[in-house]
């Protein structure tokens, strides 16, 4: 057992506790302590990225060993897929915390903000590391309850309304998930993912099995804001403070939604063509409708929120294609390419969408508006924000040589090789419309002449905000290197192997 694994949960939860106590006595302790906590977590997450590879590390909380080969304790599992998401969570969390040092000055109650921030990070880390459904649900609730409060942090009417809508639909999602977990326990008498896989392998009622899958897909689909489960996302992401918007869009919907769907439908349920077609269809619909909802928006953050739905559609569609091919026994090379495209875009989206929300926050911080029609000519007065937003805009639009181009290219090639020509054509069309949307953003925000006299005295945002934006823009460029087969194989292949080999995950846990 690797003793570093539980630190991903213990440290942020303890950090939230310390912030609420020490932060009362030491001014600005919360800002710098949170950044140090997340810097440490980022370092150990990348340490695991280098050492994990094909290995699967299992930590048994409390040292509980299986009894008669039945896992009775809480298992925390670090494998090739988990480590990618853990790196995303803690890196984007660290940069958002740095950004918040200056941004949060516009709000009061900084202790509450940073305590909730740490709780959200701890909850997301717990979700992706948990090897059993009950603790996935527990950590899910820790993270989502924190996010409810953070969305409403400004306590303005629109923020409270967005948080209320988010809570209602989030509560419905939690009910569906808990209901599904109850049915799984009723059928299998276990909650360990690997043990459930083994129990289902020995036989199950097909009707109940399908009902469970629909419940789980609906519940986590709501958390991931896949269309038609997306209604909460535009208001929540646009109303939250910008570093929280970056967290929600960059990592939250992935960690508590997309990640769990991929994990459970590959490593717990048997991969079936019918369910794979449903997942692929939902991803395609999200990709297409999301971009059409986005292009008409004039509020920057709502525009970005709808694009999150569309870009997550790329990920779900690509992974769904891999599931269809896997269920049909197609060539492993095409299966791996489709899943690699989805995971590559998952990583890319965290970088460029996190950066875009930080850019939007910088613009709102200096101009006091999110309406593109009230902006213009910001390129000269905010050169760093302008340059980094251009990189992020070209990345999300799939323009070479930025990272989004290569992940979309892999997705399109995989769709063509799998003979899903319509899906490939839709992916190209959506990318073109995305480019049009972000050209509008660039024109109206940075290059259009503004008659607003308030825009004449604008200056660049403070250094902590600039630092986070510059680092994320560099990451957007460096992620293009994942297109190199050797690098892609090193980073993505362990994740693909653990998803496509239906015995690797369960055997690694049950034989411990």
Core vs surface per residue 486-497: b (16+ CB within 10 A) or e: eebeebbbbbbb
Q: Look at residues 61, 52, 57, 49 and name the one whose alpha carbon lies nearest to residue 9.
A: 61
> For residue 162, what pLDDT is reported?
86
Higher pLDDT, 341 or 106: 341
Q: Is the CB of residue 410 less than 8 Å from the CB of residue 344? A: yes
Q: pLDDT by residue (tens digit) across 62-104?
A: 777 777 767 778 889 999 999 999 999 999 999 999 999 988 8
Q: 3-state class of 56 per DSSP?
A: coil
pLDDT band at residue 450, thresholds of 50, 70 and 90? Answer: low
> For residue 43, what pLDDT is reported?
95
Residue 1 maps to a domain: no
**Alpha carbon of residue 417 to chain centroid:** 27
Q: How many CA atoms lie within 13 A of 10 on its CB side?
A: 7
Q: pLDDT by residue (tens digit) across 43-62?
A: 999 999 999 888 899 988 87
Q: State the DSSP H helix or E strand holding residue 76, giving kind and residue range, or none if neither.
A: strand 74-78
pLDDT beyond 70 at 314: yes
Cα 354 to Cα 343: distance, rounded to the nearest angstrom: 17
Q: pLDDT by residue (tens digit) across 478-511?
A: 999 998 888 888 999 999 999 998 788 888 787 6
* CA pseudo-torsion sign 66, 68, 69, 74: negative
Residue 195 maps to a domain: yes
Ramachandran region, residue 420 (left: φ > 0; alpha: ψ -120 to 50; beta: rest): beta
Residue 113 maps to a domain: yes
Residue 342 maps to a domain: yes
Q: Is the CB of residue 340 less than 8 Å from the CB of residue 496? A: yes
> For residue 120, what pLDDT is reported?
94
Residue 138 maps to a domain: yes
Cα 415 to Cα 199: distance, rounded to the nearest angstrom: 34
Q: 3-state class of 399 per DSSP?
A: coil
Q: What are phi and psi of 70, to 5 degrees?
A: -105, 120
Residue 2 maps to a domain: no
Q: Residue 230 corresponds to which tokens in the numbers above?
A: 């997306």
C-alpha torsion angle, residues 213, 215, 220, 224 (rounded to 10):
100
Residue 472 maps to a domain: yes
Question: In which domain, by residue range, is 62 found?
Answer: 7-510
Residue 134 maps to a domain: yes
Give me the numbers of helices (H) and strands (E) for the chain, helices first please. 22, 2
Q: pLDDT by residue (tens digit) across 234-261?
A: 888 888 888 999 999 889 898 888 999 9
Q: Is the CB of residue 88 less than 8 Å from the CB of residue 254? A: yes
The mean pLDDT value of the chain amounts to: 90
Q: 3-state class of 371 per DSSP?
A: strand
Cα 169 to Cα 232: distance, rounded to the nearest angstrom: 7
pLDDT beyond 60 at 451: no
Count of structural domains, the chain: 1
């Amino acid at each position: 057992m690797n003793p570093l694994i539980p630190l991903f949960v213990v440290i942020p939860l303890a950090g939230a506790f310390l912030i609420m106590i020490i932060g009362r006595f030491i001014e600005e302790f919360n800002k710098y302590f949170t950044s140090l906590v997340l810097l440490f977590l980022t370092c150990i997450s990348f340490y695991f990225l280098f050492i994990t590879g094909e290995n699967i590390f299992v930590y048994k909380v409390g040292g509980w060993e299986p009894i008669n080969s039945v896992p009775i304790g809480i298992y925390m599992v670090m494998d090739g897929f988990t480590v990618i998401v853990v790196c995303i969570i803690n890196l984007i969390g660290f940069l958002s915390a740095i950004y918040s040092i200056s941004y949060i000055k516009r709000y009061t109650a900084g202790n509450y903000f940073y305590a909730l921030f740490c709780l959200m990070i701890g909850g997301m880390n717990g979700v992706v590391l948990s090897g059993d459904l009950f603790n996935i649900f527990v950590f899910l609730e820790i993270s989502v309850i924190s996010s409810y409060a953070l969305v409403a942090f400004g306590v303005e009417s629109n923020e409270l309304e967005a948080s209320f809508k988010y809570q209602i639909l989030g509560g419905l999602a939690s009910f569906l998930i808990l209901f599904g977990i109850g049915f799984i326990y009723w059928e299998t008498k276990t909650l360990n993912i690997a043990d459930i896989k083994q129990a289902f392998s020995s036989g199950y009622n097909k009707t109940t099995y399908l009902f469970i899958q629909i419940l789980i897909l609906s519940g986590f689909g709501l958390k991931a804001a896949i269309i038609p489960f997306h209604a909460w996302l535009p208001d929540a992401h646009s109303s939250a403070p910008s570093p929280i918007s970056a967290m929600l869009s960059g990592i939250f919907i992935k960690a508590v939604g997309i990640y769990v769907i991929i994990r459970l439908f590959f490593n717990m349920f048997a991969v079936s063509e019918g369910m794979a077609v449903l997942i692929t269809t939902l991803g395609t619909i999200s990709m297409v409708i999301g971009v059409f909802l986005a292009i008409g928006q004039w509020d920057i953050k709502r525009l970005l929120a709808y694009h999150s739905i569309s870009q997550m559609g790329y990920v779900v569609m690509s992974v769904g294609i891999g599931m269809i091919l896997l269920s049909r026994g197609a060539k492993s090379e095409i299966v791996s390419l489709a899943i690699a495209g989805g995971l590559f875009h998952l990583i890319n989206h965290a970088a460029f969408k996190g950066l875009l929300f930080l850019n939007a926050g910088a613009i709102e911080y200096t101009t006091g508006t999110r309406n593109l029609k009230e902006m213009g000519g910001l390129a000269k007065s905010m050169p760093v924000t302008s340059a980094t937003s251009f990189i992020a805009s070209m990345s999300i639009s799939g323009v070479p040589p930025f990272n989004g181009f290569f992940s979309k290219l892999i997705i399109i090639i995989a769709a063509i090789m799998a003979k899903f020509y319509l899906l490939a054509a839709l992916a190209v069309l959506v990318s073109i419309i995305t480019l049009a949307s972000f050209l509008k953003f660039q024109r109206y925000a940075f290059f259009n002449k503004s008659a607003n006299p308030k825009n004449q005295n604008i200056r660049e945002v403070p250094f902590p905000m600039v630092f986070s934006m510059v680092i994320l823009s560099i990451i957007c460029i460096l992620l293009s290197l994942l297109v190199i087969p050797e690098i892609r194989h090193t980073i993505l292949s362990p994740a693909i192997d653990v998803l496509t080999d239906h015995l690797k995950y369960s055997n690694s846990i049950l034989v411990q």
